[in-house]
Amino acid sequence: MSKPLALTIGEPAGIGPDIAIAAWMKRRELALPAFYLIGDSAFMAARARHLGLDIAFADVEAAEAAATFPDALPVVASGVRATARPGEPDHSSAPSAIAAIRHAVADVVEGRASALVTNPIAKSVLYRAGFSHPGHTEFLAQLAGAIGAVPHPVMMLWSPELAVVPVTIHLSLRDAIAQLTSELIVTTARIVAAELTAKLGIARPRLAISGLNPHAGEDGALGDEDQAIIAPAIATLRGEGIDARGPLPADTMFHAAARATYDCAICMYHDQALIPIKTIAFDDGVNVTLGLPFIRTSPDHGTAFDIAGTGRANPSSLIAALRLAARMAAASRA
């Protein structure tokens, strides 16, 4: 039997607990892979009662989770008691979220879980508690570094219809352009190609690399970055045997016929990559961190404090994240 997935509670006041419960309730209908929640079982039972649901929870060790999963939602204690009410983060929110992430990484690294799936966190809540990282990805990279890895985390947004990677991520457009280099594009694309093979079983990934400027610069008439920065990076990648093409005009990369010609679109900045996938797959997109020494996926949405505890949270993105994590773990084993 394959190892279960480790799912973090995320921000306790958000919809993470709600969608974890909703996903587990669909376990038989959707033949979901076994997972366990890292958090606080008493808190989860209280949230289920708040939602009007009669759910069985089981306090377990990770080794017991797969056997427990068909009959009760397995909960592995994070060691931190959560007390936040739906939509109202409190003093327990940040410690609960951070402890669950640490525990989940340890479980995956030490072989108790096959992959890590993270529920949404509230960055502002973590910052107020002294959290020093921009987000999940950077914290996971630090934890990976602590075990001797040299990570270069790359954010991929994935759906069955489209996978995208932004080379620069959470930067202003001015700063993204300033920090864009051929070396950064090459490093990002190498990781994407290697991970698509190792963790998704794509033997020779096809990478479509966007330009930066309208019409990919129109031969320099609309900016020289496409010729001076992006084209040399693509030449380097092709010289290494990576199937990369571009720079392509971003406005013609994402219609159905174009998407059929590549496995991943590598874009130069955040919105260039995320607007297409959020338009095509808003409810079931998955955030995947490549370049780590373990598998990590996450729903592609936030904590949604406004609907936490109402029963209106859609678990589709979490379900897609669980399925993709299991697929990646199986490909890695193979």
CB atoms under 10 Å from CB of 184, counted, come to 16
Instruction: Specify the CATH architecture of the domain 161-278.
Output: 3-Layer(aba) Sandwich (3.40)
The reported pLDDT for the residue numbered 149 is: 64
CATH topology agreement for domains 5-152+284-333 and 161-278: yes
Nearest to 327 by CA among 194, 137, 198: 198
Under the banding of pLDDT at 50, 70 and 90, the label for residue 1 is: low
At residue 334, the pLDDT reads 78
Question: pLDDT, tens digit, for every residue of 272-315?
Answer: 999 999 999 988 899 999 999 899 999 999 999 999 999 999 99
pLDDT in tens, 229-262: 999 999 999 999 999 999 999 999 999 999 999 9
Separation in Å, CA 108 to CA 3, 14, 293:
9, 24, 10
Q: What secondary structure letter does DSSP report for 187?
A: H
Residues with Cβ within 8 Å of 124's Cβ and at least 6 positions away in sequence, in order, are none
pLDDT of residue 148: 65
Grouping H, G, I as helix, E, B as strand and the rest as coil, residue 207 is strand
The pLDDT score that the predictor gives to residue 144 is: 82
Closest CA to 163 of 327, 333, 334, 330: 327
Give the CA distances from residue 35 to residues 72, 294, 295, 302, in Å, rounded to whole numbers and listed in that order: 11, 16, 14, 21
Return the domain boundaries, the chain.
5-152+284-333, 161-278
Buried b (16+ CB within 10 A) or exposed e, 214-225: ebbbeeeeebeb
Q: Mean pLDDT throughout 218-229?
A: 90
Phi first, then psi: give them for residue 39, nearest 5 degrees: 180, -130
Which single residue is written with the structure tokens 């949230």?
A: 47
Task: Tell me the pTM.
Answer: 0.92
More confident residue, 85 or 150: 85
Q: Let me know: does 157 contact 306? Beta carbons within 8 Å.
A: no
Structure tokens at 300: 């592609």
- How are strands ordered across the β-sheet holding 73-77? 57-59, 73-77, 35-39, 5-8, 115-117, 296-299, 286-290, 154-158, 163-166, 264-267, 206-210, 243-248
CA–CA separation, 156 vs 230, rounded Å?
19
Sequence-separated (6 or more) residues with CB below 8 Å from residue 174: none
Are 246 and 280 a contacting pair, CB within 8 Å?
no
CATH among 3.60.140.10, 3.30.360.10, 3.40.718.10, 1.10.10.10 for 5-152+284-333: 3.40.718.10
